[in-house]
């Protein structure tokens, strides 16, 4: 594997890409010995081309070139999710029941609407428009919100409650369904939110997948921290 120069890491950090890069490197190391059967490879490819709407070989080749992927790296991308799935099955299956019982409430599924703006005055104005004038929350989010939720008309989710920011989580309590929260400040932004849906978790296939994803994320985070503390180059070399 090519050694990464420190200046490259600095550039990744500058553009906010270092953490995602390190997570991807840790994940690559974890799944490198996972083997897929020919059937599993075919399933992985089929899922990939459907996700990106690559209906023929020409579109697959255009996708490869557009994303600067070698043929080898394209296969890596195609097989990635299937290999991660197999890794999680081998590593975490025995912990699912205990993890579910310990974190049942955090695994409840929420869907909420959110608006982020820079100024408190604007946040209060939007709050009153929604509360008193019955203006449409989602239309206002589309027009005013500064975050990525702008693209979804302010709608976030459905997602497990433990994936929600800690400051936001209490405001999405199941007792607050359809209640508009007053603006609150977070990271120099003023936030409006309203809980739209709340579903108590069940130990179904989707919940199992969410638990495995959470356990994997936590494992990767620990390795990244250890890497910083000890020697970053042990991860990159």
Q: pLDDT at position 17, please?
A: 86
How far is Cα 221 from Cα 23, in angstroms, rounded to an integer?
A: 7
23 in a domain, yes or no?
A: yes
Q: Are residues 126 and 161 in the same domain?
A: yes
Q: Are residues 176 and 60 in the same domain?
A: no
How far is Cα 181 from Cα 194, in angstroms, rounded to an integer?
A: 6
Q: Are residues 115 and 149 in the same domain?
A: yes
Q: Are residues 65 and 112 in the same domain?
A: no
Q: pLDDT at position 150, please?
A: 92
Q: Are residues 62 and 129 in the same domain?
A: no
Q: pLDDT at position 96, please?
A: 93
Residues 6+ apart with CB under 8 A from 29: 235
Q: pLDDT at position 237, please?
A: 52
Q: Are residues 79 and 52 in the same domain?
A: yes
Segments forming the whole domain that contains residue 64: 6-99+206-236
Q: Are residues 34 and 63 in the same domain?
A: yes
Q: Are residues 121 and 194 in the same domain?
A: yes
Could you give the maximum distance between any two Cα atoms of the chain, in Å?
60
CA dihedral angle for residue 88, residue 90, residue 93, residue 94, rounded to 10 degrees: -140
pTM summary value: 0.61
Q: Which residues of the chain have pLDDT under 50?
A: 1-3
Backbone dihedral angles phi then psi of residue 52, each to the nearest 5 degrees: -100, 10
Q: Helices 71-92 and 38-51, interaxial angle, to 10°? A: 110
Element (H, E) at 223: helix 205-229
For 109, the 3-state DSSP assignment is strand
Residues 6+ apart with CB under 8 A from 70: none
Q: Are residues 162 and 85 in the same domain?
A: no
How far is Cα 237 from Cα 234, in angstroms, rounded to an integer?
A: 6
Q: pLDDT at position 113, please?
A: 96
Q: Are residues 17 and 134 in the same domain?
A: no
pLDDT digits (tens, 9 = 90+) for 144-158: 999 889 999 999 999
Number of domains in the chain: 2
Do 147 and 116 form a contact (C-beta atoms < 8 A)? Answer: yes
Q: Are residues 150 and 111 in the same domain?
A: yes
Q: Are residues 80 and 133 in the same domain?
A: no
Alpha-helical runs (H) found in 4-153: 6-14, 18-31, 38-51, 57-66, 71-92, 96-102, 120-131, 137-144
68 in a domain, yes or no?
A: yes
1 in a domain, yes or no?
A: no
Residues facing 155 on adjacent strands:
113
Q: pLDDT at position 227, please?
A: 67
CATH number at residue 172: 3.10.50.40
């Amino acid at each position: 594997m090519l050694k990464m120069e420190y200046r490259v890491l600095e550039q990744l950090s500058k553009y906010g890409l270092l953490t995602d890069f390190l997570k991807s490197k840790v994940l690559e190391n974890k799944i490198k010995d996972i083997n897929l059967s020919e059937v599993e490879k075919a399933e992985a490819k089929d899922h990939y081309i459907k996700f990106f709407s690559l209906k023929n070989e020409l579109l697959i080749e255009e996708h490869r070139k557009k994303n600067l992927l070698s043929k080898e790296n394209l296969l890596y991308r195609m097989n990635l999710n299937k290999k991660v799935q197999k890794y999680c099955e081998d590593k975490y299956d025995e912990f699912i029941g205990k993890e579910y019982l310990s974190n049942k409430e955090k695994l409840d599924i929420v869907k909420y609407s959110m608006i982020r703006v820079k100024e408190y005055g604007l946040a209060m104005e939007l709050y009153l428009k929604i509360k008193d004038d019955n203006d449409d929350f989602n239309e206002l989010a589309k027009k005013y919100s500064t975050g990525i939720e702008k693209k979804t008309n302010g709608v976030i989710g459905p997602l497990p409650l433990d994936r929600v920011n800690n400051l936001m989580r209490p405001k999405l309590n199941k007792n607050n369904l359809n209640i508009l929260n007053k603006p609150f400040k977070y990271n120099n932004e003023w936030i409006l939110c309203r809980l739209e849906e709340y579903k108590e978790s069940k130990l179904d296939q989707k919940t199992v997948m969410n638990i495995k994803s959470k356990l994997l994320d936590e494992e990767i985070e620990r390795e990244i921290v250890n890497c910083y503390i000890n020697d970053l180059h042990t991860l990159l070399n």
